[in-house]
Structure 1
Amino acid sequence: MIRLNEITKTYTVGKKAVPALHGISLTVAQGEIFGVIGHSGAGKSTLIRCINLLERPTTGKVHVDGVELSALSDKQLQEERRKIGMIFQHFNLLSSATVAKNVAFPLELAGVPKEAIGQRVKELLELVGLEEHASKYPAQLSGGQKQRVGIARALANNPKVLLCDEATSALDPQTTNSILALLSDINRKLGLTIMLITHEMHVIRTICDKVAVIDGGRIVEEGPVTEVFLKPQHATTREFVEQVSDSQELKEAIRHGKASGQHRIVRITYLGETTYEPVLYEVTRQTGTPFAILQGTISRMKDTPYGQLTVQFGGSEADVARTLDSLKDRGFDVEVL
């Protein structure tokens, strides 16, 4: 649905060329929720704005739904942009217009008949749970409600793609979760392709199918969320994973273990329904290996349950080795820390 081929973007500041993106290539499949995560200044906002050509790439090609946007005239591009909805961090609502008028605005620009606009606005407000707020103004709404209006407005023209530019960054955690649940529901109901950028790993873990990590205007890691989250390869990715995993106490335990020459602190990762099975207990009972759990997580990445245990094993080296081999034989990922 979205294909970026060697996208670069360079700004001119005074007489100096300032590169923002360096040869980025990405493919987002139809119906997928694809996340791009990066620190401030990494280039993620520039990247997402290049998709609908709010920022025109310096070089490279942008394809959306089989159409090369970067080759279109301004008039043709305006038509194709109706297939691409976009929501923003700070909502960008018309303060002097009601909720219903804000949602109707893109339909009015497209010349949709008044009767059809009224019906479509009603459908969209029901979809985002704001049917009772149609006559209110943005100033009368909470942050989460404003973003729901933004989502309804972005869906007005039945787009095939929804771009989310830090859509939850201005919201509290509870409201963030409700907006993520709404986006996930819209993705399922409408088969909509969603691409979002964020600096929060929680957002990626909650709703994304795939993720790309951007650093210094380059994609440094990419893949299914389960692989990237559970087996981070790049230093930037590991930083983001630590937002929702490693505690300071665990880091201290690992440092202490290394300093004392004990390499028996192990991270065990498992996916799917085995998450809820007592595998560690069964294996250690068979091998007679004592253990202490330093940290444990059972959660979900979108629809996939996963577990991660950080365990310190006691006993002999031979017993520990047999335990780790047995866990690996059962399909668990085992990493000695």
Structure 2
Amino acid sequence: MQKVYADMPGRLPAIDRIHLHIKRGEIFGIIGHSGAGKSTLLRCVNLLERPTSGTIRIDGEEMMRLDAKQLQAKRRKIGMIFQHFNLLSSATVAENVAFPLKLSGMGQAKIQARIQELLELVGLLEHASKYPNQLSGGQKQRVGIARALANHPDILLCDEATSALDPQTTNAILALLLDINHKLGITILLITHEMQVIRAICDRVAVMENGLIVETGNVLDVFLKPQHAVTKDFVGQVSDFTAQTSSAHLDVPSNSAAGTLIRITYVGQQTYEPILFEIVKSTTVSFAILQGTISAMKGVPYGQLVVRLTGGQPGDTELVIAKLRQEDIDVEVIAQ
């Protein structure tokens, strides 16, 4: 897919060569710096921006072939929440949530029941009669989420939905989105410039730069083994353990003993098991842990260690590395 704006200098594509398949029920993140093209890509999904070339299929239906009436009906099944909330300032919380329901022709009794259901879901039932200027930023975004869910959408598009919020409120909104995904099975496509957002709730991620997708994959894989320079930059936002490949970049003592420097990556339950100790003690090798971290992503624990292996009989260091890899542990030799 490609999108070119007629007034862009040199008619350079805002997005180009975009190929994405998003699975039903997953939370998919798109991350990039300002101007990377992520907002354009998101708005192409529901044809708020019409691609210059390419196709968009939702549940096998080609969006660009729909007539105006069909497109309107399809858009009702695609909710959208925005960075700056886009609430009606002269309408109450309940009226803001009711707005898309009235447009769809729902009866008043059903609208009232749906409002109560949605406000209860987002934790705002007691604020139904308030106006947006009486709400905090997090509460406004909860109204936006309730409104986006009004017509039982299959897909929820999130356009920098937490960028205007403080960190504590951001975490609360992300927890709400994760809860909605679990309870309703709704597919969530979000864009952000914050790796913490991706790390907190996304299953897979695409990294954008200059209108192109430069890297994509499962969040844990991309986080632990970023390939592109811009991905490494984003990972560095939330990790004290950046994926540098040279010993010169590692914060290790200059007087460290000679030996083999390796990076070990654990994923899952093996993170908490003494695998390295058990393997090393069966050899004459000694080891020192120079750096290390343990964390979790969507309930999956992971850890990384930088270890210096020293001493031992000839071949023992290679044996340790081989045995670690036999345990399905990723081992990278940084320096020898």
Write the letter of the residue equivalent to 2:329.
F
**Which structure is higher in strand share?**
1
Aligned to 2:299: 303
Alignment deviations for residues 33-64 of structure 1 (CA, whole Å, 9 cap, x no partner)? 11111111110010000001111111111111
**2-structure distance, mates of 1:34, 1:103:** 25
**2:59 is the counterpart of 1:65:** yes
**2:198 is the counterpart of 1:204:** yes
Describe how 1:1-337 pairs up with structure 2 within 5 A. Answer: 7-13=1-7, 16-246=10-240, 254=250, 264-315=260-311, 318-337=315-334
The alignment's C-alpha RMSD in Å is 2.3
* Residues 231, 253 of structure 1: alpha-carbon distance in 2 compared, 3 angstrom cutoff: closer
Q: Is the 8 A contact 2:3 2:53 kept in 1?
A: yes
Alignment deviations for residues 175-226 of structure 1 (CA, whole Å, 9 cap, x no partner)? 1111111111111111101111111111111111111111111111111112
Write the letter of the residue equivalent to 2:166.
D
Alignment deviations for residues 104-124 of structure 1 (CA, whole Å, 9 cap, x no partner)? 111111111111111001000
Residue-pair matches, total: 330
- Aligned residue for 1:13, secondary structure, equals coil
Write the letter of the residue equivalent to 2:83.
Q
Alignment deviations for residues 144-164 of structure 1 (CA, whole Å, 9 cap, x no partner)? 111111111100000000011
Q: Is the 8 A contact 2:5 2:11 kept in 1?
A: yes
* Residues 245, 134 of structure 1: alpha-carbon distance in 2 compared, 3 angstrom cutoff: same
**1-structure distance, mates of 2:15, 2:101:** 33
TM-score computed with the length of structure 1 as normaliser: 0.91
Shift of 1:325: 1.9
Aligned to 1:3: none
Q: Is the 8 A contact 1:10 1:58 kept in 2?
A: yes
Q: Is the 8 A contact 1:211 1:222 kept in 2?
A: yes
Q: Is the 8 A contact 2:32 2:208 kept in 1?
A: yes
* Residues 53, 282 of structure 1: alpha-carbon distance in 2 compared, 3 angstrom cutoff: same
Q: Is the 8 A contact 2:2 2:16 kept in 1?
A: yes
Q: Which sections of structure 1, spanning at least 5 residues, go unmatched?
A: 1-6
**1-structure distance, mates of 2:275, 2:133:** 53
Q: Is the 8 A contact 1:257 1:265 kept in 2?
A: no
Identity %: 62
Write the letter of the residue equivalent to 1:290.
S
Q: Is the 8 A contact 2:257 2:310 kept in 1?
A: no
**1-structure distance, mates of 2:18, 2:259:** 39
Q: Is the 8 A contact 1:35 1:196 kept in 2?
A: yes
Q: Which sections of structure 2, spanning at least 5 residues, go unmatched?
A: none
**1-structure distance, mates of 2:260, 2:193:** 33
Does 217-226 or 54-63 show the bigger shift? 217-226
Write the letter of the residue equivalent to 1:328.
R
